[in-house]
């Protein structure tokens, strides 16, 4: 049987759930049935990791940038078409071609390039939408129009949350039968067995063993509203002076975060360790997870925290309601409700037995988030499109 050529296209290989899942997928597709390829930007902390993937040919495009740029976008489109035609004509010319895109910019450019290059099937994963209610109305509806037009040439859509699937149907981006739910996978074994204990990780980070610890793991960009977490930290500290906070990540808002940390009086209590790859150990050293996002798909940090029995305080946006039941395994509050989030964080830190009980309820839910299950579900989808 001829192997199916599968090309994954994603805008930027930064450290994030969509990027890590894309790399895991191309690395673990069944090589007896699929020949994987990857197209992305030349920037990002995961580029080096992508280039080391065995059996995956990777193309890095300098013109594939996140911002709208007619010149760069035209070049990226032209180069992507060229690469797809090259892939199609190389090796087994009878092999069929599937193009699977991720993220907003790569989703638009990649799908139109796939159509131009004659791909047999075009799939797009919504890890969250590129439009949101915090954009100017004209900008938001321009992005929705682009998605609507591009959806006309897309055979199947993958959504990581029920909320995103329902929203896509409501906006007319796809019909209900065109979209499948495939969870953003995590390594359940790795998160169930941290390599360091709680004490070792805290000692490395300079956090007292007896200090309550609230952690946020996210890119420092407007979507995640990291300045709200700093505000929450300041409010919590007023009632619990010995508390500590971790903000794992980095990004364009780092300078603003450092300034806000001083303004809210948590310069010593709020630690900024940058990007980390030891997320299981970080979560194992924490007492609760906090996420202040304004919009989401379904962040992988939720099942990661749940796998380690951590309760979650998060904003009630998009896929959060898929996995967090308010008052059962965490708390959900409106975006920007810093006072409400601070109260819930204080409740969990002051009531460790209740927090543990909520965390254990979350732990019981995470089986559907296995990374290998995610890959198998995508393989089934690929075969169904070419049947």
Tokens at residue 156, please?
């199947």
CATH of 188-368, one of 3.20.20.140, 3.40.50.300, 3.40.50.2000, 3.20.20.70: 3.40.50.2000
Contact yes or no for 219/14 (Cβ under 8 A): yes
**The domain over range 4-185+370-386 is classified in CATH as 3.40.50.2000:** yes
What is the pTM assigned to this prediction? 0.91
Delimit the CATH 3.40.50.2000 region(s) of the chain. 4-185+370-386, 188-368
Which neighbouring-strand residues pair with 290?
313
Predicted confidence pLDDT, tens digits, the chain (387 residues): 589 999 999 999 988 889 999 999 999 999 999 999 999 999 889 999 999 998 999 999 999 998 889 999 999 999 999 999 999 998 777 889 999 999 999 999 999 999 999 999 999 999 989 898 899 999 999 999 999 999 999 999 999 999 999 999 999 999 999 999 999 999 999 999 999 999 999 999 999 999 999 999 999 999 999 999 999 999 999 999 999 999 999 999 999 999 999 999 999 999 999 999 999 999 999 999 999 999 998 999 999 999 999 999 999 998 899 999 999 999 999 999 999 999 999 999 999 999 999 999 999 989 889 999 999 999 999 999 998
């Amino acid at each position: 049987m001829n192997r199916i050529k599968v090309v994954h296209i994603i805008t930027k290989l930064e450290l994030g759930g969509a990027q890590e899942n894309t790399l895991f997928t191309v690395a673990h597709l069944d090589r007896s049935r699929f020949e994987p390829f990857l197209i992305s930007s030349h920037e990002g902390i995961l580029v080096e990791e992508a280039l080391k993937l065995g059996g995956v040919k990777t193309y890095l495009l300098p013109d594939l940038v996140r911002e709208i740029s007619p010149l760069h976008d035209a070049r990226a489109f032209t180069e992507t078409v060229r690469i797809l035609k090259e892939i199609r004509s190389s090796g087994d010319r009878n092999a069929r071609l599937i193009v699977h895109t991720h993220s907003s910019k790569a989703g638009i450019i990649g799908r139109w390039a796939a159509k131009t290059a004659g791909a047999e099937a075009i799939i797009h994963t919504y890890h969250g939408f590129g439009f949101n209610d915090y954009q100017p109305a004209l900008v938001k509806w321009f992005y929705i129009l682009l998605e609507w037009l591009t959806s006309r040439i897309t055979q199947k859509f993958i959504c990581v949350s029920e909320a995103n699937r329902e929203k896509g149907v409501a906006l007319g981006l796809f019909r209900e039968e065109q979209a499948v739910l495939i969870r953003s996978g995590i390594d359940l074994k790795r998160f169930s067995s941290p390599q360091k204990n709680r004490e070792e990780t805290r000692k490395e980070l300079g956090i007292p063993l007896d200090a309550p610890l609230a952690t946020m793991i996210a890119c420092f960009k407007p979507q995640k509203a990291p300045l709200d977490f700093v505000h929450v930290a300041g409010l919590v500290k007023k009632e619990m002076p010995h508390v500590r906070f971790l903000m794992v990540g980095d990004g364009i808002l780092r300078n603003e975060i450092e300034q806000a940390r001083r303004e809210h009086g948590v310069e010593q209590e709020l630690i900024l360790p940058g990007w980390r790859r030891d997320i299981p150990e970080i979560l194992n050293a924490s007492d609760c997870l906090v996420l202040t996002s304004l919009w989401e798909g379904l962040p992988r940090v939720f099942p990661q925290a749940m796998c380690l029995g951590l309760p979650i305080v998060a904003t009630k946006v998009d896929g959060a309601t898929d996995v967090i039941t308010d008052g059962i395994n965490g708390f959900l509050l409106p975006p920007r409700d810093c006072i409400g989030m601070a109260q819930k964080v204080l409740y969990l830190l002051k009531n460790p037995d209740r927090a543990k009980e909520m965390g254990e309820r979350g732990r019981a839910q995470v089986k559907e988030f296995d990374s290998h299950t995610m890959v198998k579900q995508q393989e089934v989808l690929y075969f169904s499109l070419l049947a």
